C-alpha cells in the first residue's frame, strides 16, 4: 500500500514539518482556525506525547511525509442514543499538509488504513469523526469509507466561534 503511518517522534525536525503544514490555509481553516507559532506547535505536540492519551502519527504517501493523524479514545461528550450500543469507540483527527496530495483519492486510502488500525489494533467496535458540517470535502471522503452521518450539533471551533459539527459513525459491521 502506498499509504503508511509512523509514530510521531519528539523531534524538532518533525515539529518544524507540522508547523509548515499548519501554516497552510487549507489546513488551519479546518484544524486550528489560526496559524500556530512554532513554539505553540512544539508545546502542543510534546504535551500530547507526554500525556500519552493520543497516538500521533505522521501520514506517509510513497514514503513521503504528507500529514498528521491523532487517534484517541472517544469521550462521549455528545450523548447520542446511537452510541449507547458501543463499548469501545475511537475518534481521530487528520490532515494532509501537502497541497499536491489533495483531491487525488489519497485521503480515502488514509481513512481506510486508520480505520483498519483502530479496529484491529485498538479493538474498537465503532469510530466517530466530527468535522465541521461545512467541510464538504472531508465528509465526502468519510462517507466513501462507510461513515454515516448520524447527527449535527452546535459546537465551537478552537477559537470559540460557533460552528455546526457533523457526527459520522463507522462500525466494524457495516
At CA 115, angle to CA 72 and CA 22, rounded to 5?
60
CATH number at residue 9: 3.40.630.30
- State how many domains the chain has: 1
Buried b / exposed e along 145-154 (16+ C-beta atoms within 10 A): bebeeeeeee
The Cα 32–Cα 26 span in angstroms is 11
pLDDT digits (tens, 9 = 90+) for 101-157: 998 999 999 999 999 999 999 999 999 999 999 999 999 999 999 999 999 999 998
Per the CB < 8 A criterion, the answer to whether 147 and 168 are in contact is yes
Put simply, whether the predicted model's pTM sits higher than 0.85 gets the answer yes
How far, rounded to the nearest angstrom, does the alpha carbon of residue 40 sit from its chain's CA centroid?
19
- Domain, as residue range, for 145: 3-171
Amino acid at each position: 500500500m502506498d499509504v503508511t503511518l509512523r509514530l510521531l517522534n519528539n523531534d524538532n525536525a518533525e515539529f518544524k514539518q507540522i508547523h509548515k503544514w499548519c501554516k497552510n490555509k487549507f489546513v488551519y481553516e479546518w484544524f486550528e482556525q489560526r496559524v500556530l507559532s512554532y513554539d505553540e506547535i512544539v508545546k502542543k505536540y510534546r504535551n500530547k506525547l507526554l500525556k500519552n492519551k493520543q497516538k500521533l502519527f505522521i501520514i506517509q504517501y510513497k514514503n513521503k511525509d504528507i500529514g498528521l493523524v491523532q487517534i484517541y479514545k472517544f469521550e462521549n461528550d455528545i450523548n447520542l442514543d446511537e452510541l449507547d450500543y458501543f463499548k469501545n469507540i475511537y475518534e481521530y483527527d487528520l490532515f494532509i499538509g501537502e497541497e499536491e496530495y489533495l483531491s487525488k483519492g489519497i485521503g480515502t486510502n488514509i481513512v481506510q488504513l486508520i480505520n483498519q488500525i483502530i479496529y484491529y489494533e485498538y479493538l474498537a467496535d465503532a469510530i466517530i469523526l466530527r468535522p465541521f458540517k461545512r467541510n464538504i470535502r472531508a465528509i465526502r471522503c468519510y462517507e466513501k469509507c462507510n461513515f454515516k452521518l448520524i447527527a449535527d450539533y452546535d459546537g465551537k471551533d478552537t477559537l470559540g466561534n460557533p460552528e455546526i459539527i457533523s457526527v459520522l459513525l463507522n462500525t466494524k459491521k457495516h
